[in-house]
Chains A and B, each alone.
Chain A
Amino acid sequence: MKFVLIPVLVVVAALRIWTRRRRRQTSPRSPRPWLTSIKSAVGLVAVREMRERLRGRIFKVGTVFILVVVAAAIIIPVLHNNSRQPPQKIGVVGNLPVSFRTTVESSAKGVGDTLQFVAEPSVKHAKVDLRSGRIDIAIINGLQLVIGHPLSATNSSVDAQLVLALAKNVGFARAVQAAHLSTSQSETLAAAKALPVTSIESGRKRAVDSTSLIGVILIFVMLSQYNTWILIGVMEEKSSRVIEVLLSAVRPIQLLTGKVMGIGLVALAQASLIVAFALALSRAVGSNLTHGTAPLVLVSTLVWLVLGYAFYSWVYAAAGSMAERQDQVQSLALPLSLPMIFGYVMALTQVSSGYPTTLLKILAYLPPTAPFAMPVLVGFGAATWWEFLSSVLISVACTVGVARVAATVYRRSILRTGGRVRVREVFSDAWR
């Protein structure tokens, strides 16, 4: 948990110190009414945004849909793991010594399967039963295995593993019998264990794959949804001309900050609800989402959802202020979403590959892709707390810079109507 707690505490403390010092430097005798007015304006705008979004049908339906998907992602694997396979039916033609039967049973146990012996009067009868599915495997006089369909090289099912284990172990048992070994020698050979194999990477990574996957998808879906809200919300205020009424009472930066905060709080509330729901459901059904580093990955996902939203929301708000119609918004949204899509795809690829590459480690330090890459690195156990902190600090610093530029673009674009505003125009002298 130190991965997340230490960086968050450091960033919060640094921000508080920075804002206090800045306030002292810029306005040593800042009057309270002015500050109160700014806070209240931002708060009012934020509350309106939250109220309108929470009332919306899209939010309600979207939240229920995501919860259903998360529930399915948690419950289905558990049900799959818990579902008992029916016992494998082994047809026995001819004599099968007791020692061989023991070998067959232990082989089935070794691959997590159970079995049931079925006496077959003849090979022909056994083949008929194989075709009809009444038995799964036939052992002919302890000398040969017969199955319905040939095994492919890539088949890794339990059934295939059982066939291979039977072939190997029964063959071995026959060899031991043929060698006329003493009982102790036979037992020694039977008790032989494979050499232990260890890997230099953490053995936990397989356990957190599903958590990282859920986290990355959650971040992508929520960043896409809420940043689109910002984009369309700003555009609608401009196109409905209500912006002029609003800006006669509040500053552009207050309006923008209130909107970003309001929608951001709705996003955080929804994400927290989903994570809490996921953790509670996992604990209830015994999913591995509450084991190992999975809770850490989920908390890291929440942190990076906040940081990712903070970074992208300003960019989307600035873009929204330059558009006046739906088609203009769509043409702006695509290039803005490209870094997100890139980070998302790369993170998904890494999760499925099972190993963090150098590219993923680089992406984890770039603010546009870090919200996707860093939680995956945490899931792999491939990020130390100070690496996590470094990435957080880089993201916060870049967000401050992006917010300043976005506020300028917003202020210069939001009142200009009659067509889409070009970036070149925003920064030209003519439109100060």
Chain B
Amino acid sequence: MANVLHLEGLSRRFGALTALEDLTFDVPSGQVVGFLGPNGAGKTTTMRAIFGLTDLDAGVVWWNGGVVGQSERRRFGYMPEERGLYPGMLVGEQLTYLGRLHGMSANAAAAAAAAWLERLGIADRAKSKVEALSHGNQQRVQMAAALLHDPELLVLDEPLAGLDPSGIDVIGEVLATQARAGCCVIFSSHQLDQVENLCESVVIIDQGRLVVTGRVDKLATSGPRRLVVRVEGDRSGSWASGIAGVTISEVKGGVVRLVLDDDVDSDSLLALARGAGRITEFVFERRRLSEVFREAVG
């Protein structure tokens, strides 16, 4: 049976502040799910709730049909937003210790630690103290800590923050591999282009409430058609102004992005553009995740 994490009706208030309000969504296995929302939307609170790190006013976290408890959580992997490791402890020893806390034997934990350090490109730092590592390498160690016990669910809060492009590539490849192996993967990020590249599905929340969820492909093709036009000699896109049913969403570098109502004929638009000059680009565009996000959270 495929694993599935189901969050049902999560609510949490901190005094007058509503962090979560009746939040419900699923994280299926085999997919990388992006968890998006503006700052203060409740992403970190949700992730902490999965691990019982914050009390809930209402709601239940389910794992494969059962309420999540301590024994289930030991099979999950977690990378918190605020990175945390023992600064004075050796990297290898620290990972082995964390693996053992997740129920691994000493030998298995040590072997897994070595394997993950190798895969993440920092095998030579196993005997270094964490405090001696660069920020990026500390992040890789933190990633290894979340992965080394072969978790069934991987919850990562901003795993890409502060990484260089090669680091992002490595983490992205690891997440995809884990998902293909049947792991449920959910991670939060503000780097929407990266999320779009890495994720099959996204969950977008705002003010503690779910606003959009679905597969990235479907979200990109849903909604009104988007047309990208470049006309030589008309960098301001003035030719498209005032056309009924056509909204200019962006003009940048001579490229005009248009949002078309259902009844707008693209051939007539092509003719109008020709009238303005030589057309060097005329293509229908998928909705980008950033646009989905902006539309969802205003």
Which A residues form the contact surface with B (CB < 8 A)? 33-34, 37, 40-41, 44-45, 48, 52, 237, 240-251, 415, 417, 430, 432
Find out whether the CB atom of B53 lies under 8 angstroms from the CB atom of A415.
Answer: yes
**Which stretch (B69-77, B175-183, B266-274) binds chain A?**
B69-77
Known: A245-B98, A415-B53, A415-B54. A37 touches B84 (CB 8 A): no
B82 at the binding interface (Cβ < 8 Å): yes
In the complex, A430 Cα to B19 Cα: how many Å?
Answer: 13
Known: A44-B97, A249-B101. A241 touches B53 (CB 8 A): no
In the complex, A244 Cα to B84 Cα: how many Å?
Answer: 7
Find out whether the CB atom of A250 lies under 8 angstroms from the CB atom of B86.
Answer: no
In the complex, A140 Cα to B189 Cα: how many Å?
Answer: 104
Q: How many Å from the CB of B154 to the closest CB on chain A?
A: 12
In the complex, A45 Cα to B98 Cα: how many Å?
Answer: 10
Which B residues form the contact surface with A (CB < 8 A)? 14-15, 48, 51-55, 70-71, 73-74, 76, 78, 80, 82-89, 97-98, 100-103, 142, 145
Known: A245-B78, A249-B74, A430-B14. A240 touches B98 (CB 8 A): no
In the complex, A41 Cα to B84 Cα: how many Å?
Answer: 19
Nearest 5 Cβ contacts at the A-B interface: A241-B84, A242-B84, A248-B78, A244-B80, A249-B101
Name the CB-closest residue of A to B89: A52
Instruction: Please give, as numbers and ranges, the residues of chain A lying within 8 Å of B145 by CB-CB distance.
Output: 245
Known: A248-B53, A251-B70. A37 touches B86 (CB 8 A): no
Find out whether the CB atom of B51 lies under 8 angstroms from the CB atom of A48.
Answer: no
Instruction: Please give, as numbers and ranges, the residues of chain B lying within 8 Å of A432 by CB-CB distance.
Output: 55
Instruction: Please give, as numbers and ranges, the residues of chain A lying within 8 Å of B70 by CB-CB distance.
Output: 37, 250-251
Find out whether the CB atom of B101 lies under 8 angstroms from the CB atom of A44.
Answer: yes
Find out whether the CB atom of B53 lies under 8 angstroms from the CB atom of A247.
Answer: yes
In the complex, A252 Cα to B205 Cα: how many Å?
Answer: 29
Name the CB-closest residue of A to B14: A430
Across the interface, B101 reaches (CB within 8 A) one of A240, A250, A415, namely A250
Instruction: Please give, as numbers and ranges, the residues of chain B lying within 8 Å of A33 by CB-CB distance.
Output: 71
Find out whether the CB atom of B14 lies under 8 angstroms from the CB atom of A243.
Answer: no
Find out whether the CB atom of A41 lies under 8 angstroms from the CB atom of B101.
Answer: yes
Find out whether the CB atom of A240 lies under 8 angstroms from the CB atom of B102.
Answer: no
Known: A48-B97, A247-B51. A242 touches B86 (CB 8 A): yes
Instruction: Please give, as numbers and ranges, the residues of chain A lying within 8 Å of B85 by CB-CB distance.
Output: 240, 242, 245
Find out whether the CB atom of B101 lies under 8 angstroms from the CB atom of A243.
Answer: no
Other contacts beyond A40-B103, A52-B88, A244-B84: 14, CB < 8 A:
A37-B70, A37-B103, A41-B101, A44-B100, A48-B97, A240-B86, A242-B84, A244-B48, A244-B78, A244-B80, A250-B101, A415-B54, A430-B14, A430-B15
In the complex, A430 Cα to B18 Cα: how many Å?
Answer: 12
Name the CB-closest residue of B to A251: B70
Q: How many Å from the CB of B204 to the closest CB on chain A?
A: 24
Instruction: Please give, as numbers and ranges, the residues of chain B lying within 8 Å of A251 by CB-CB distance.
Output: 70
In the complex, A252 Cα to B97 Cα: how many Å?
Answer: 17
Instruction: Please give, as numbers and ranges, the residues of chain A lying within 8 Å of B48 by CB-CB distance.
Output: 244, 415
In the complex, A34 Cα to B71 Cα: how many Å?
Answer: 8
Q: How many Å from the CB of B87 to the closest CB on chain A?
A: 6
Instruction: Please give, as numbers and ranges, the residues of chain A lying within 8 Å of B76 by CB-CB distance.
Output: 248
Find out whether the CB atom of B98 lies under 8 angstroms from the CB atom of A244.
Answer: no
Name the CB-closest residue of A to B78: A248
In the complex, A430 Cα to B78 Cα: how many Å?
Answer: 26
Instruction: Please give, as numbers and ranges, the residues of chain B lying within 8 Å of A243 by CB-CB distance.
Output: 84
Find out whether the CB atom of B97 lies under 8 angstroms from the CB atom of A241.
Answer: no
Find out whether the CB atom of A245 lies under 8 angstroms from the CB atom of B53.
Answer: no
Find out whether the CB atom of B87 lies under 8 angstroms from the CB atom of A240.
Answer: yes
Name the CB-closest residue of A to B55: A432
Find out whether the CB atom of A248 lies under 8 angstroms from the CB atom of B51.
Answer: yes
Name the CB-closest residue of A to B56: A432
Instruction: Please give, as numbers and ranges, the residues of chain A lying within 8 Å of B100 by CB-CB distance.
Output: 44
Instruction: Please give, as numbers and ranges, the residues of chain A lying within 8 Å of B142 by CB-CB distance.
Output: 245
Report which residue of A52, A241, A248 has the largest number of chain B beta carbons within 10 angstroms of its beta carbon: A248
Q: How many Å from the CB of B144 to the closest CB on chain A?
A: 12
In the complex, A194 Cα to B55 Cα: how many Å?
Answer: 80
Q: How many Å from the CB of A10 to the closest CB on chain B?
A: 35
In the complex, A244 Cα to B53 Cα: how many Å?
Answer: 8
In the complex, A48 Cα to B101 Cα: how many Å?
Answer: 11
Instruction: Please give, as numbers and ranges, the residues of chain B lying within 8 Å of A244 by CB-CB distance.
Output: 48, 53, 78, 80, 82, 84
Instruction: Please give, as numbers and ranges, the residues of chain A lying within 8 Å of B103 by CB-CB distance.
Output: 37, 40
Instruction: Please give, as numbers and ranges, the residues of chain A lying within 8 Å of B87 by CB-CB distance.
Output: 240
A sample of 22 inter-chain contacts (CB < 8 A) reads: A37-B71, A37-B74, A40-B103, A44-B100, A44-B101, A237-B86, A240-B86, A242-B84, A242-B85, A242-B86, A243-B84, A244-B48, A245-B98, A247-B53, A248-B51, A248-B73, A248-B76, A249-B73, A249-B102, A250-B70, A417-B82, A430-B14
In the complex, A249 Cα to B98 Cα: how many Å?
Answer: 8
In the complex, A247 Cα to B76 Cα: how many Å?
Answer: 12
In the complex, A247 Cα to B52 Cα: how many Å?
Answer: 8
Instruction: Please give, as numbers and ranges, the residues of chain B lying within 8 Å of A248 by CB-CB distance.
Output: 51, 53, 73, 76, 78, 80
Instruction: Please give, as numbers and ranges, the residues of chain B lying within 8 Å of A41 by CB-CB distance.
Output: 101
Report which residue of A41, A247, A249, A251 has the largest number of chain B beta carbons within 10 angstroms of its beta carbon: A249
Across the interface, A246 reaches (CB within 8 A) one of B55, B82, B89, B101, namely B101
Name the CB-closest residue of A to B51: A248
Q: How many Å from the CB of B112 to the closest CB on chain A?
A: 14
Instruction: Please give, as numbers and ranges, the residues of chain A lying within 8 Å of B83 by CB-CB distance.
Output: 241
Instruction: Please give, as numbers and ranges, the residues of chain B lying within 8 Å of A249 by CB-CB distance.
Output: 73-74, 98, 101-102
Instruction: Please give, as numbers and ranges, the residues of chain A lying within 8 Å of B98 by CB-CB distance.
Output: 245-246, 249
In the complex, A246 Cα to B52 Cα: how many Å?
Answer: 12
Find out whether the CB atom of A241 lies under 8 angstroms from the CB atom of B71.
Answer: no
In the complex, A77 Cα to B80 Cα: how many Å?
Answer: 59
In the complex, A39 Cα to B55 Cα: how many Å?
Answer: 25
In the complex, A415 Cα to B78 Cα: how many Å?
Answer: 15
Find out whether the CB atom of B80 lies under 8 angstroms from the CB atom of A245.
Answer: yes
In the complex, A241 Cα to B82 Cα: how many Å?
Answer: 6
Q: How many Å from the CB of A103 to the closest CB on chain B?
A: 74
Instruction: Please give, as numbers and ranges, the residues of chain B lying within 8 Å of A241 by CB-CB distance.
Output: 80, 82-84
Name the CB-closest residue of A to B77: A248
Instruction: Please give, as numbers and ranges, the residues of chain A lying within 8 Å of B74 by CB-CB distance.
Output: 37, 249
In the complex, A48 Cα to B93 Cα: how many Å?
Answer: 10
Q: How many Å from the CB of A36 to the closest CB on chain B?
A: 10
Q: How many Å from the CB of A86 to the closest CB on chain B?
A: 57
In the complex, A202 Cα to B134 Cα: how many Å?
Answer: 67
Instruction: Please give, as numbers and ranges, the residues of chain A lying within 8 Å of B101 by CB-CB distance.
Output: 41, 44-45, 246, 249-250
Q: How many Å from the CB of A222 to the closest CB on chain B?
A: 23
